[in-house]
Every structure is written in structure tokens, then in C-alpha cells.
Structure 1
Amino acid sequence: MWFIVIGVLMLLMNFAGIGPIGQWTWADRWWAMLLPFGLAAVWWAWADASGMTQRKAMDKDDAKREARRQRNLDSLGLGPNKNKKKR
């Protein structure tokens, strides 16, 4: 995601003429302005091929499941606060 943000910022700076990137011409530095987008594509391909994306999704599901389990235990009075008297 950060590569996309960097690429968009570089494009905006070039079109607006801000800073040294604003002085670049497309004929000279087209590769530098498109490099972050290429790096993002490589990163996403690697993340999908290595299984990192799937592991993160599974961890998120596990965290939701554990939170739901704990919430249900608390509502049944079996959670960590089971010895406290309710008023």
C-alpha cells in the first residue's frame, strides 16, 4: 500500500511542479515515476505466493472467534469476573 501512496504523491508533485520531482520530465524520468507502482505489483505477487495474505486473514478470523467466545463466556457468568457479586 505504501508503494501506491508514494507513487501517487510523486505523480501529484510532478503535475503540480512541486520540489525536485516537479522538475522531472517524462522523457527523462518516466521509469522513476512508475517504479513505485511496479514495486507494489511485485510486493502483492510475493505476498500472495508466500501465503502471507492468507495467514493474516486467518489470524484476523481467529481473533474474532476468540473475542466472540470470551464475550459469550462473560454473558454466561463463566468469565474471569465470575466470582464478583452482581448488585
Structure 2
Amino acid sequence: MLFLGLGIILLALKYLEFGAVAEWSWWIVLSPFAVAVAWWTWADWSGYTKKRAMDRENVRKQARIDKSREALGLGIKKRK
């Protein structure tokens, strides 16, 4: 997401001909988009995206379990 934001900012600066970016080549200005595509391709291929999603779901699931146990007065059990 960082590279996408950087690419949008550089694209706007190049289009508006603002500062030193106006003199840069279009290849340099558009390169953050290529890096973002490469990152997303690698993240999907390696399973990084799926692992992050599963980690978020596990944290939400554990929070629901802890909240339910506390509501029932059972307390929160510590994992070993």
C-alpha cells in the first residue's frame, strides 16, 4: 500500500509539473506501481496474505472466547 500511495503522489506531482518531479522520466514516476504489483504478486504466491488474514481471524476468535468466558464468570485461562 505504501508503494501505491507513493506512486499516486509522484504521478500527481509529475502531472501538475511541480518541483523536481516535473523533470523526472515517466519510468521513474511510474516505478512504484510496478513495485506494488510485484509485492502483491509475491504476497499472494507465498501465502503471506492468507497467513495475515488467518492471524487476524484467530485474534478476533480468541477475543470473542475471552469475552464470553468473562461474561459467564469463568475467567480467562492462560495458554501454555
TM-score by length of 1: 0.82
- Structure 1, unaligned runs of 5 or more: 81-87
- Partners in 2 of 1:21 and 1:30 — Cα distance? 10
- Partners in 2 of 1:76 and 1:33 — Cα distance? 57
Runs of 4 or more, structure 1, over 3 Å off, are none
Picking from 20, 35, 42, the partner of 1:39 is 35
- Partners in 2 of 1:53 and 1:61 — Cα distance? 13
- Partners in 2 of 1:39 and 1:19 — Cα distance? 23
- Percent of pairs with identical residues: 38
Paired position in structure 1 for 2:3: 3
* Structure with larger Rg: 1
Paired position in structure 2 for 1:13: 13
Secondary structure of 2:7's counterpart equals helix
- Structure 2, unaligned runs of 5 or more: none
